[in-house]
Amino acid sequence: MDYRERWKEENESAAERFALASERIRAISKEDTVQQPFRDYFRAAAEFLAMTEELYRLEARGDYRSLSLEQLEAWNCRLYGEILKGRYEASYASPVYASEQLGAEYGPLLAFLYTELRDDIVFAHECRLMDMTILRELFVEIYNQFEGEAPKAEEVKDTLYWFFSDYADRMVPFRLREQLDPDLSFGKDIVMDSDLSDLRYLYFYGEYVSEEDRQMAAFLNRLPEEEIVRMADAYTEGYRKGFEVTGRDLSRKKTVSLLYELGFERMARQAVKNFRAMGLEPILYRSPVWSSDKTPNRKRGFHGTSPNRQMEYDHRYDQALYLTKAYTERKLAVLKVAYEACKDLAAVYGGPALIETFGEEVFHPENRPQCLAFSAKQEKLSNACAGEAAQTANAYIPGEETSFTIIAFPRPSIGPEFEEIFRETVRINTLDYEAYKTVQQAIIDRLDQAEYLVITGKGENRTRLKVMLHRLDDPARQTNFENCVADVNIPVGEVFTSPVLEGTEGLLQVGSVYIGEICFRNLRMQFDGGWVTDYGCDNFPDPEQGRALVRQVILKNHDSLPMGECAIGTNTAAYAMARRFGIIDKLPILIAEKMGPHFAVGDTCYSWSEDTAVYNPDGKEIIARDNEVSLQRKEDLSKAYFNCHTDITLPYPELDEIYGVSREGEKLPILSDGRFAVPGTEMLNRQLDEQKSNG
C-alpha cells in the first residue's frame, strides 16, 4: 500500500484539528501577546512547523519525490541545517543556548519541546497527519501558557508530562507494531521500489543525508553484483545458521527485522530477496522518533548519519521531564495491551538482522549542566521499567525461539584507503567457517581442563583478571565454551563462556575501546566476586565525569553489573588487517571482540533462554549458560536480568598472556606474548606473521 494511502482514514479524522492548530500557529508570527525573550523562541518554532506543513503538502500531493536532486538537497538542508555542527550552538534545540536566552528554569524545558517538534520531519515525510496534529496542539497549549505573564516552569513541565502520559496509548502500540508488522513498509518500499542508481532516493526517508551517506550509496552502486550477493549471503546465511546451531525451528517464523544505515540499500535489497527465499518477510523500521521510545546512546532501526552527535548526547535523558512511577506504570500497562493486540505477529517474529558501520570520526562528548538528566530515583525507575518491558516481550517473543545476526562494514570517513579497507572487511566477514571451527575446538579442549583463567596485560596495561569457570561433571559430553563461528556474530572468531561470579576478580584495563559511538580512553573496571566494584576512564580531566560516562554508557545507570561473558577472540586475520591500515582504534566491538579477550558486563550470553540446551559442533553441551544472578529467575524473575550486555575488548597489543589453571594447579597456556600457544592453532599465528612481514 502506498505510504500516502496507509494513513488516509486516520488523516481524514485529524484534518480539522490539524487545520485549526496550523491556523493558530501561523498567527504567532504576527502576535505580541508573549513577552520577550520567549516571543522569539515561539516564532522560531512556529516557522519550523510552517516549513514541515509545506513539506507535508508536497508529500501528500505526490510532488516531493518528483523534485530534482538539487531541490531535495535544499530541502534536507532547510530541515536539518539549524542543528549541524557550528549552527547548533545558536539553536533553541541546544539546552545551553536555550538556557542562555530563556533562563535556566525554562531553557531545558523549551529546548526539549523544540527538539521534540523536530519529529515533525519524519511525520511529514510519512504523511502521518495525526502525529503532526498532536505535536501542534502541544505547541499551541504551551504557547497559550506564555501569553501575558510567563507561567511557572512547573506548569510547563506538567503539560509535557500529561502529553506523554495521555498519548502513551498511541506512541507505544505504534512503536511495537512498526517492529513486528511487515505491512508497515515505508522503508522497505524505498529499498525495493526505488531506482538505487538515482541517489534522490536517499532523501525520501526524511532522515538527515550527509555527504558520507551519498558516498556510501555511490560506492555500493559501483560494486559488481556478485560482490553485493556475497555480502548479503554472508549476512543472511549467518542468520539462518543462528537458528540451526541452537536447534531452533526457523520454519515456524515468518518475519525478520532488517536494520541498516542509509547508503546500504543495495545490500539490503539483496538481503530482502534472500530472506524471502527462506520464507521470511523482512521488516524495515525507522530508528525511534519520539523521545519516549529512545534509549540513551543507542539507535535501533534504519537511520542516516547523525546530523550532530553532541545534540543527541545532550538530549539522551530527555525522558527525565516526564519519567515518574505513574508514567512507567501506564506505559507498561499499554505495552502489555499492545503485545496482546499484536500477539499473532509476535509469534512469527524471528529476531533482528543488523548491518552496522564503523570508521566515523572519534566523538568526544561534552557534559553540559544545562541538559536534562535522570535523578537517582529515575535511574532506578528506568531500569525497572526496562526489566518489566523485557519480561513482557519475552512472554510474547520467547528468547529461546528467536535468533539474530550482526555484520559490520566501514564508512568512507575511515580514511583515504576506505575502498581497500571495505574489500578487506568483506574478506574478513567471509572467512572459512570450517577452518576456524577446527582451530577453536582445539582451544576449547584446553580451556575445558581449567578451573579458572588468568588474563594479564603488558607494558602500561595493568590488567590482571582471574575468571572462574563452571565445573564439568561429564567432560566427555560437556563443555564450558561455545565454538562461535560465522553465524549470529559476523565475522568468525571467538570462543566464549558465562563465568562463575564467585572467585572472579581483578582489574580490566583497556587503552582505547569503542562502546557504541563513544571511544573510551584508558577504561578501568575492578571486579570482586564477579561484580564491578570500581570504574573510571580518562575521557575528561575531571575523574568524576569519567566515572559518570562509564556508568551511563557501560553500566547503563546501574550501580554495578556482574561479568556476564568471558571470551577469547581468534580472528588474527582481522587483527592483521586492522594493524595494516592503522584502524584498530576505529573498529566496532563486533570486530574488535574477535581480536583478543573480551568481557561483557550485564546479562549472560544466554539471557532469557538458559533452559534451552546448546551444543557445539562436536556434540558437547555448553553447560555454562547460567551464573549466580540469572539463576535467581527460578524464584524472582525481576532479580535475574539487567537487560544489557556490554562487551569490552582487551586487544592483542595490550595482552601479555592468557592461561588456564587446572584443579591440580597445572598452568595451561592459551596465549603468550600475543601468540596462540595451543597445538592446532598455528594458522592463527601464521596470519600474525604475515602481517609483520607485510608491515
Residue 195: Cβ-neighbour burial (10 angstroms; 0-12, 13-18, 19+): exposed
pLDDT value of residue 490: 86
Residue ranges of E strands in 315-415: 349-358, 405-410
Peptide bond into 37 cis (omega under 30): yes
User: Which residues pair with residue 164 across a beta bridge?
Assistant: none
Buried b (16+ CB within 10 A) or exposed e, 341-378: ebeebbeebbbbbbbbbbbbeeeebebeebbbbbeeeb
pLDDT value of residue 690: 67
- Residues of the chain scoring pLDDT < 70: 486-487, 690-695
Question: If phi over 0 gives left and psi between -120 and 50 gives alpha, with beta otherwise, what is residue 552?
Answer: alpha
Widest CA span in the chain: 85
Selection from 561, 445, 434, 427 nearest residue 495 by Cα: 445
- How far, in Å, CA of 639 to CA of 308, rounded? 37
Helix H or strand E encompassing 60 = helix 38-61
- Sequence-separated (6 or more) residues with CB below 8 Å from residue 551: 535, 557, 558
Written as one letter, the residue type at 664 is: E
pLDDT value of residue 588: 84
Question: If phi over 0 gives left and psi between -120 and 50 gives alpha, with beta otherwise, what is residue 84?
Answer: beta
pTM of the complete model: 0.91
Q: Which tens digit of pLDDT belongs to each residue from 121-163?
A: 999 999 999 999 999 999 999 999 999 999 999 999 999 999 9
Q: DSSP class of residue 568? A: E
- How far, in Å, CA of 171 to CA of 289, rounded? 10
